[in-house]
Amino acid sequence: MASDDLSFPPSRRHSAFQQLEAFLSSVESYAERRNYLEPGHGNVSRLSPAIRTRLVLETEIIEATRKRFPAHRVEKFEQEVWWRLYWKGWLEMRPSVWSEYREDLSGLEWSERALEITSGKSGVSIMDHFAGELIETGYLHNHARMWWAAFWVHVEKLPWQLGADFFLRYLHDGDAASNTLSWRWVAGLHTKGKCYLVRRSNLEEFVDREILDANSEGLERLEGVSPLPVIPVDPPVPVPLPGGALPPLKGRFGCWIHDEDLFLESSPLSSLQPSAVAAFCPTGLWERECYSKEKQIFLSKALEDGAGRGGGHFGILSAFLTVDVLSDAIAEWAVEKKLTAVVAMRPFVGPLADELPAIETRLRKSGIELILVRRSDDVAIMNKATAGFFGFWKKTKEDRAFLT
């Protein structure tokens, strides 16, 4: 069962930064401690839900860290934050990997065994403990994610796509890039000739003694695990993201705020003067994706926080709406506000971006344009995710130079 009830910061000023501050007092021991699974997970930041929704930007986290510590003392933490940007860039430039995953997923059935494991009845009690923790708290430590995914793929020989979907349903930080690509990496599909295997001895080294002793049943199934054979496939050729400044805007336009970027006040949209601002909780989409109630509540609260700050910044009362069909809701709002264009940060590859064609079509029917922009930092950094992480880390040195 779950070790601790964790709650995550759904607001920028009042909780994400407090959590960051609290974590920074121990960040220097991160490199040494981060792989250990401890009750309460105080050795890692637990900031991922706030980072994933961009209540805080990756660069802000690094900046705050560097203000306190010289780079060499916090490099491991910085690298992990950069891993997220690497995965993001890798998938943004190869969106077919996401669409293939979604297609595969739609053709798969949840077998009885898959359902047993996701409901915490696998018979390997530490894995059942992790499944319970994920469902109850919306979070799993990185090492637990690796072990659980490796158990699913290599021990139980279940399709990685179903396991990845289970994670996305519950993880408050659920992210198309980090999740899909990490699952592919565990399965041996990401790096040729490499996969991640779960080993009993590894759990014995890194899991808190009390947690493991209370969940020792079935550990023998994690001995001598052999990898699931995979046929290596070359990844698609990366297509660089276009830069593209915001075009001049004429007439009345509105800003759409969504959960992929909740920091509009510091974005390419910040200098605009919109006639309307709105954030939508797309419950139809969330239900279709089978997001847990707790995840939906977290996302709603984060959206409300982003809408409040965004409205305050633009000096307009922002709308915060719970809606069923997102494309209809955006179009109805835009028509009601007599807008000629809706402007937004471009959602990253994932479930929300999959809605864009419908949104665009629906708006166009009413003669309204959809204008999507990216942060120039994102474009510069993500376009460097052409090969492996360490090459990316070297190539992005100049992008981190402003932090030194």
Binding residues vs ligand FAD (CB under 6 A): 34, 44-48, 51-52, 80-81, 83-84, 87, 141-142, 145-146, 149, 167, 171, 173-175, 178-179, 182-183, 186
CA 25 to chain centre: 25
Composition of the chain by helix, strand, coil, percent to 5: 55, 5, 40
Please report how close the Cβ of residue 86 comes to ligand FAD at its closest, in angstroms. Answer: 8
Please report how close the Cβ of residue 39 comes to ligand FAD at its closest, in angstroms. Answer: 14
Query: In angstroms, what is the C-alpha Rg of the chain?
Result: 21
For ligand FAD, give the closer residue by CB, 12 or 362.
12
For ligand FAD, give the closer residue by CB, 80 or 369.
80
C-beta separation of 3 from 133 below 8 A:
yes
Structure-block tokens of residue 6? 């964790």
Please report how close the Cβ of residue 354 comes to ligand FAD at its closest, in angstroms. Answer: 16
Structure-block tokens of residue 377? 């930092």
For ligand FAD, give the closer residue by CB, 183 or 280.
183
C-beta separation of 31 from 166 below 8 A:
no
For ligand FAD, give the closer residue by CB, 198 or 331.
198
Q: What DSSP letter does each residue of 358-389 carry, written as one string? A: HHHHHHHHTT-EEEEE--HHHHHHHTTTTS-H
For ligand FAD, give the closer residue by CB, 91 or 279.
91
For ligand FAD, give the closer residue by CB, 179 or 292.
179
For ligand FAD, give the closer residue by CB, 45 or 327.
45
Structure-block tokens of residue 61? 């986290």
State how far the alpha carbon of 78 is from the alpha carbons of 17, 84, 215, 261, in Å. 17, 10, 33, 20
Structure-block tokens of residue 173? 């930080």
User: What pairs with residue 253 in β-bridges?
Assistant: 341
CB atoms within 10 A of CB 101: 21
Please report how close the Cβ of residue 130 comes to ligand FAD at its closest, in angstroms. Answer: 11
Q: Which helix (H) or strand (E) holds 79?
A: helix 75-92
Please report how close the Cβ of residue 211 comes to ligand FAD at its closest, in angstroms. Answer: 17
Terminal Cα distance for the chain, rounded: 43
For ligand FAD, give the closer residue by CB, 37 or 363.
37
DSSP 344: E
CA separation for the pair 334, 371 (Å, rounded): 13
Please report how close the Cβ of residue 29 comes to ligand FAD at its closest, in angstroms. Answer: 12
- At position 381, the amino acid (one-letter code) is I
For ligand FAD, give the closer residue by CB, 174 or 254.
174
Three-state DSSP at 315 gives coil
For ligand FAD, give the closer residue by CB, 178 or 318.
178
Please report how close the Cβ of residue 222 comes to ligand FAD at its closest, in angstroms. Answer: 16
Please report how close the Cβ of residue 72 comes to ligand FAD at its closest, in angstroms. Answer: 18
For ligand FAD, give the closer residue by CB, 295 or 362.
295
Please report how close the Cβ of residue 56 comes to ligand FAD at its closest, in angstroms. Answer: 10
Handedness of CA 51, 279, 95, 105 (dihedral sign): positive
282: phi then psi, degrees, rounded to nearest 5: -85, 80
Q: What DSSP letter does each residue of 205-262 carry, written as one string? A: HHB-HHHHHHT-TTGGGGSS--PPP----PPPPP-PPP--PPPP--S-EEEEE-TT--
Please report how close the Cβ of residue 161 comes to ligand FAD at its closest, in angstroms. Answer: 12
Please report how close the Cβ of residue 177 comes to ligand FAD at its closest, in angstroms. Answer: 8
Task: Find the length of the chain.
Answer: 404
